[in-house]
Chain A
Amino acid sequence: MAKQVSGGLREWVIPFAFAFCAGWVIWHGPAYILDFFPHENPSMTAQITELHERKDVSPNMSGLFGGVMDILDWAALLLLPVIGFFGIRSVVHAQMEYPNPPRVDLFALFIGRVAMILIISMTLIMLYEVFLRYVIEAPTLWANELTLWIAGYVFLLSGFYAMQQRCHIRIFIIYDLLPKFGRRICDTISVVLLCLFAFFLVFGSYNQVFGIKFHRWEMFGTAFDPPIPATIQPMILIVVCLVALQAVVNLIADWNKEPVEHDEGDLIDEEELEAIKKSVGAD
């Protein structure tokens, strides 16, 4: 089999399908809340039901299994892990990425692909809005807030990806002077502290975030009214936990790795250099 190159059709389509399905699930969040985490308080139930009816994209479909979720909602929810599975299998390691990822890391790489699709979608939505607003003078209510919403996911997920890629900004002045044993201690301290932070963050806000913002499906309070607080705040906690987990995975994967000298030449990678050289016609 010929060596596959990153950026093939599958790597565009599957993350896009994943993002689309996740988008459907997130947009129809109230339906899932009503079915899976019903409120005990009837007035809250009424409020969420009203929300659901206002935001439903497929209003004429009846719910399945005596619930609110219609067949599309079920399909989207069940497809999500399936697409995720195929997505993880479809990841092709790109040359500029951190070499030799263990199998677990493929998840982070796939999430990175999804974030890349989100970046291009967000840019296109924003340009569409610019076109409508300044050329046709018919601005939409939704485009700016949708961009903001997607950007929130991009910002959070990019940190998870950057963790897997080990490209978070670090200072290596003293670290590089240490023997292997010392480096292991340093890395372990970092990972333990990061896990502690994730624990305290979740411990200190899970009720506010999941119990209130998510469960009551708090909206942004604007005309388009996207559920930004209801979705981004849980995402913050989830991604911080994922980053901490990834840090543990990195620690295990790098445990026996030979020390490499970090100079800031790492700022620029070989592939990048080749591309730029090609663009200026240098040999």
Chain B
Amino acid sequence: MDVGIISIVLVVSLLFLLAIGMPLGLASAVLAALVMIMKFEPTLLTDPMSFGTGILTSNPGTGPLYLLTQKIFDLMTEYVLISVPLFIFMAALLERSGIAKQMYDSLDFWLSRVRGGVAIVTSIMAVLMAAMSGIIGGEVVLLGLIALPQMLRLGYNQNLAIGTICASGSLGTMIPPSIVLIIYGLITETSIKALFTGAFIPGFMLASFIIIYIVARTQLDPSQAPLPEPKPDDPQGGEKWLMFAGFVSVVAGASSVILVARVALLTALGRNDPGVDNFEPPFLGMIGDLPILFGIIAASAAVIFLFAGRERTAVGWQRGKGLVPPLAVIGIVLGSIYGGVTGITEAAGMGALAVFCIALFRGEASVDLLWVSMMRTLRSTGTIIWVTIGAAALAGAYTLAGGPTYIAQLIIGAEMPTMLVILTMMLILLFMGAFMDWVGIVLLIIPVFLPIVQRLPIEEIGLIGQLSPHHVAIWFGVLFCMNMQVSFLSPPFGPAAFYLKSVAPPHISLTDIFRGFLPFIGVQLLALSVLLLWPSIVTLLL
């Protein structure tokens, strides 16, 4: 059968199967078999009695259909895929520990006298949580439970409060480590580490846009974010800065001491000896780095003893220590990935271990916590991985039928201007995002879109800066991630809204929640257009 007809039948049947409520992964698997039949033995569809005569069915037990098993098997033996259950495991443990609440209290202490402080605290906390794991959902729920009551109690504008929580809570998939980027990298065979690196600046850009928006909105209309009554024992402006300086010095000094110990260990083991083959210097792990580390320690000590004073530092530490566990987890996860220590999978495992140890330390760990977290991991793994399985089979079958090439020819043959093609794709992604889960989109649409983007004339992509050809896949991945940020908030099915609804006070309706999102969707679209106009922002750190 002609690949054009196959494509049309495929799209129509996919829409049909999804409409009747068939699970996405299984529907894709069924369609994979359908594509194979259309490609190799179309008579089977018109005349089922001919079973056993064609290329596909005359040879039981082997033949082209084995390709589907093979595709599923290839996916099952992807080492990076293991990081998905591990990150879920880590997030499940994190949700059930009091780490988040303590982090909020610490941040709130420093920013309580700032206009819009609780909203800013919410955003910063979301960024920190995003850098620990890469799962949204739990994050929105946590922020909704901790920050929403505070903001409403202080008389914050309700829309501002709602939008801040959900827009920031969705950052989990934008800031590395991100499960969306892991699946994207697997499907498109792009380096996941490079994707993470590329997503850093855009992720923080989006986060800072959100914070700038909050600051601007509350400064222009202070009634939207009333300041809390000052507490009698609250330190005054300059005093607090000194305390903060003391706290930062303690953290910086302590981290440097740990790094010095690491250098000593590496030296003792002879592992920072440049004489070895394929030597990659460990980051801040060489003897040559010691002056920097000792410099930091000396500077911290100077700040603590001469500038802030020991008492202020002690108070600052008391108030700020809630930030230490999250920072430690981030250090372990991202440090493992970027410090050249381990791969992403191991980093996820280390993160899970770190969160468990912190929970143990705080007396919250129990056998029951483990059991429930394992069960949650199993459920989420089943849903995510099986969509991946179905889509891998479908993508394999469709590629064999010549689908992606056909569609790429179609689009390129239409002679649309490059940016118009990309804008059309963005619209399709945004539209799909409003109805479908991100897993489905990355698995069903990206394998078709990416080859097209890679064939577009590269000098016409963007207005500022030039993207190099081997960065296109990375740029498009980050762009896709940004699109998904919008999809978490877009009505009618933006998941963030439903997560928040489950913990919001009853008088806040879904409509109220979606109304609160509008300006934040605008902020996200702004960040998206920055990525479109200036693609090489992704490669700044690469």
Give residues in A with beta carbon < 8 Å to B: 6-7, 11-12, 94, 96-97, 112, 115-116, 119-120, 122-123, 126-127, 129-130, 134, 137, 144, 147-148, 151-152, 154-156, 158-163, 165, 167-175, 183, 186-187, 189-190, 193-194, 196-197, 200-201, 203-209, 211, 228-229, 232-233, 236-237, 243, 247, 263-265, 267-268, 272-273, 275-277, 279-282
Within the complex, the shortest CB–CB distance from A114 to chain B, in Å, comes to: 10
A155 touches B26 (CB 8 A): no
B350 contacts A130, C-beta separation under 8 Å: yes
- Return chain B residues, CB-CB under 8 Å to A168: 23-26, 382-383, 386-387
Tell me the minimal C-beta distance from B371 to chain A in angstroms. Answer: 4
Q: A residues within 8 A CB of B503?
A: 273, 277
B378–A158 touching, CB < 8 Å: yes
Given contacts A116-B374, A127-B350, contact A171 B24 (CB under 8 A): yes
Cβ-defined partner of A137 (8 Å) among B76, B269, B352: B269
> CA A248 – CA B499 in complex, angstroms?
31
CB-CB contacts of B142-170 with A at 8 A, as 1s and 0s?
A: 10011001000000000000000000000
Which of B18, B27, B36, B495 interacts with A264 by CB under 8 Å? B495
- CB proximity to A under 8 Å, residues B27-82: 27, 29-30, 32-33, 36-37, 56-57, 60-66, 68-69, 72-73, 76-77, 79, 81-82
Judge if B379 is at the interface, Cβ distance under 8 Å: yes
Q: A236-B72, A279-B100 are in contact. Are A201 and B65 (CB under 8 A)?
A: yes
Q: Are B22 and A190 in contact (CB under 8 A)?
A: yes
Across the interface, do B138 and A276 meet the contact criterion of CB distance under 8 Å? yes
Once A130-B350, A209-B69, A265-B501 are accepted as A-B contacts, the answer to whether A190 and B26 lie under 8 Å apart by CB is yes
Contact A7 B371 (CB under 8 A): yes
CA distance A161 to B86 in the complex (A): 18
Which of B224-232, B313-321, B341-349, B533-541 participates in binding chain A? B341-349
Instruction: Indicate whether A126 sits within 8 Å of B378 (C-beta atoms), given known contacts A167-B383, A201-B69.
Output: no
From B22, B368, B439, contact of A170 by CB (8 A): B22
Q: In the docked arrangement, what's the CA distance between A242 and B370, Å?
A: 28
The answer to whether B96 touches A152, judged by C-beta atoms less than 8 angstroms apart, is no
B89 on the interface (CB 8 Å rule)? yes
B18 CB, min distance to chain A CBs, angstroms: 5
* Cβ contact within 8 Å between B502 and A130: no
Given A267-B137, A268-B137, A279-B97, 13 more pairs with CB closer than 8 A = A96-B375, A116-B377, A151-B76, A154-B381, A155-B389, A156-B76, A168-B383, A169-B24, A174-B21, A204-B62, A205-B68, A232-B77, A236-B73
Distance (Å) between the CB of A12 and the closest chain B CB? 8
Contact present for A123 and B86 (CB under 8 Å):
yes
Nearest CB on A from B415, distance (A): 35
CB <8 Å contact, B65 and A204: yes
Neighbouring B residues of A94 by C-beta, 8 Å:
372, 375
- Provide the bound-state CA to CA distance between A193 and B390, in Å: 14
Pick from A115, A169, A263: contact of B378, CB below 8 A: A115
A137 to B135: give the CA distance in the assembly, Å: 32
Q: Does B436 contact A (CB under 8 A)?
A: yes
* Residues A126 and B383 in contact, CB atoms below 8 Å apart: no
B416 at the interface (CB under 8 A from A): no
CB distance from B106 to the nearest CB of A (A): 14
Complex alpha-carbon distance, A196 and B29, angstroms: 11
Least distance between B143 CB and chain A CB atoms (Å): 10
Q: Once bound together, how far apart are the Cα atoms of A264 and B26, in whole Å?
A: 20
Chain B residues with CB below 8 A from A280, complex form: 98, 100-101, 142, 145-146
Q: Is the CB of B435 within 8 A of A173?
A: yes
Identify which of B32, B57, B82 contacts A203 (C-beta below 8 A): B57
Residues of B near A122 (CB, < 8 A) are 82
B192 to chain A: closest CB distance in Å? Answer: 16
> For B437, what are the chain A residues with a Cβ–Cβ distance below 8 Å?
169
The answer to whether B383 touches A229, judged by C-beta atoms less than 8 angstroms apart, is no
Is A197 a contact partner of B29 (Cβ separation < 8 A)? yes
A29 to chain B, nearest CB (A): 17
B220 CB contacts on chain A under 8 angstroms: none
Contact assessment for A159 and B69 in the assembled complex, using a CB-CB cutoff below 8 Å: no
- Shortest 6 CB-CB distances between A and B: which pairs? A204-B65, A207-B61, A162-B382, A175-B21, A7-B371, A168-B23
Cross-chain contact A204 with B86 (CB below 8 angstroms): no
Q: Are A6 and B382 in contact (CB under 8 A)?
A: no
Residue from A12, A119, A170, A208 within 8 A of B24 (CB atoms): A170
Please pick, from A6, A169, A171, the residue contacting B371 in the complex, using a CB distance under 8 A.
A6
Instruction: Report A-chain residues with C-beta under 8 Å of the C-beta of B61.
Output: 203-208, 211
Contact of A205 among B66, B371, B493 (CB under 8 A): B66
Whether A169 contacts B68 by the Cβ 8 Å rule is no
24 A–B pairs (Cβ distance < 8 Å), ordered by A: A6-B371, A12-B367, A94-B372, A119-B89, A148-B82, A158-B381, A159-B386, A169-B25, A169-B383, A169-B439, A170-B23, A189-B22, A190-B22, A193-B30, A196-B30, A204-B36, A204-B61, A204-B69, A207-B60, A236-B76, A272-B95, A276-B95, A276-B142, A280-B100
Which chain A residue shows the least CB distance to B84? A155
A233–B30 CA distance with the chains assembled, in angstroms: 19
Q: Does B141 contact A (CB under 8 A)?
A: yes
Q: Is B20 interfacial (CB 8 A cutoff)?
A: yes
Are B498 and A263 in contact (CB-based, < 8 A)? yes
A189 x B20 contact (CB < 8 A): yes
B364 at the interface (CB under 8 A from A): yes
Does B498 contact A265, Cβ atoms closer than 8 Å?
yes
Is B19 among interface residues, defined by CB-CB distance under 8 A? yes
Q: CB distance A279 to B95 under 8 Å?
A: yes
**Cβ of B134 < 8 Å from any Cβ of A?**
no
Q: How far does the alpha carbon of A159 sit from the alpha carbon of B17 in the complex, in Å?
A: 19
Q: Are A276 and B439 in contact (CB under 8 A)?
A: no
B384 to chain A, nearest CB (A): 8
Asked whether A267 and B435 contact (CB < 8 A) given A116-B375, A168-B386, A204-B66, the answer is no
Looking at the complex, which one of B20, B73, B101, B498 makes contact with A279 (CB distance below 8 Å)? B101
Q: Cβ of B113: which chain A residues have Cβ within 8 Å of it?
A: none
Q: Which residues of B contact A173 (CB under 8 A)?
A: 19, 435
